[in-house]
Structure 1
Amino acid sequence: MEISFLGTGGGRFTTLFQKRYTGGIRVDGLDNYIHIDPGPGALLLSNKTGLTPVLLNAVVLSHAHPDHYTDVEALIEAMTKAGTRDRGVLLSSRSGVECVDGFGPVISRYHRNMAGDVKVLDDDVSVELKNNVLIKSFRVKHSDPSSCGVVIGTPDGDIGYTGDTTYFSDLPNKLRGVRVLIMNVTRPLNSDITYHLSTNEAIRLISKVEPELAIMTHFGYNMLESGVEEQASVVEGETGVNTIAARDFMKVKVEEEIRITKKQSKILDFKSNL
């Protein structure tokens, strides 16, 4: 399986000013094409990087915040070839398809009906794709109470994705056994914030999960200003686990070996007015 980062930014200010892109994550392999959390720019960046969105057979939405959902309807249209094919599965937090404590729905009924199948994510919801690839969801702790993370089970090992969450005692159990752990780490060391992981909490999580590779992504503005590579080095030093700070358009291959196959900076310069 190949993981492609179509953006490594998250949070309001990083998203508004596109200090890092926010197109989400593609996971491709074994005749499966999965897009996770297609935020602003997902459709554009998919096409620009050659990750053809019409190949998709699964779109995953972890929760109803704009940096995760804005392009989900466009990708449903791509997956179904503009609604002309009854194919693909939409896996969405409940807030994607109905109102949950003021969050959502963010996906129109028209687009929900367009998808070949719709599954509402919750604890222990599983969807089997092609060639023994399985997506299993679990509930996390975020301001949207229906927020979920996912584990993608593959013949080459499991890939875990936290989604947006604070650390909670059962989180390591949901992710234990994954080879690759992708964490949305919004805040730097000693800068905890409600509903999001900080570097301190990433250390706690990695120490308990013990993946082969840990990847930090979804960086908030303060996290980027603190230097994400330095933050990842601190995490690796504390945990002994190979830990990297993702970059826009980075690719990671999960096979017998785990290899970073492409590492590239963002393609547009950014000058902040803040």
Structure 2
Amino acid sequence: MEDDVPSETQSQEEDESQDDLWDEEDDDRAEFDQSVQSYILQCRRKRRRILSIAATMMVVPSNKVVQHMGRHGYTSQNVMAICDFDMRYTFVVAGWPGSVHDMRVFKDAIDKFGDKFPHPPEGKYYLIDSGYPNRPGYLAPYKGIKYHLPEFRQGVMPRGKKELFNYSHSSLRNVIERSFGVLKMKWRILLDLPSYPMQKQSHIIIACMAMHNFIRDSFLRDVDFDLVDHDENYVPFAEGSSSDGNVSNVHHGDEDVNMNEFRDWIADGLFSRS
């Protein structure tokens, strides 16, 4: 009994059918991008309480090992995100190799998205980590000074105005670390993404963030969110921001003198009340 061998005509029809399928998938991807970004934008409009901007690493397999090799020693994507006090993402950029400095991702996001980038309103500030410079609208901690909460809790509590400022800053900015922690705890695929094309991996990351926001908006009981809501010190999958390894690349000349004076003013006020 002979195996059925498709004829040339059948093969051609199958190729055309496959091309149509890929065209449909391209259309689906375009609709997906538009719908997800629209949803993220709606989330941003609902709450204007700006809190924190940070970057994290999502583990991804890649054949471009050098470009995607991050400071942790594995291939990854650099994902920059902004969240509010409710642990809801209001802006996200995914797809950059893990070796890229966070400031490059940040600058590209501002250039690429233009007026769509959620710049902080006048008199409001994003809390950023030490991988970013202290500039108008973006309040950074003192560099070279103890900062992370575990450092204080496992050792001596803050001494001096700069440590006290960093402790207060870290306590507030901790929400972005908790948001990333819940995201990775709930969507375990983000801990080790399959070998999909980079664009598809980025779609998965952004889709998980959109579902994260949807669950938060639903006000339904959720085990993962409940864990962090009942303990503000609990950070699942705590690994620190990806910017921590980039501090040496931030120069004092990049910072704004007036913002440094403003930070000193806050630090003086906190210290005088302690």
TM-score (norm 1): 0.28
TM-score (norm 2): 0.28
The structure in which a higher percent of residues are strand is 1
The structure in which a higher percent of residues are helix is 2
**Higher relative contact order structure (alpha carbons within 8 Å, sequence separation ≥ 6):** 2
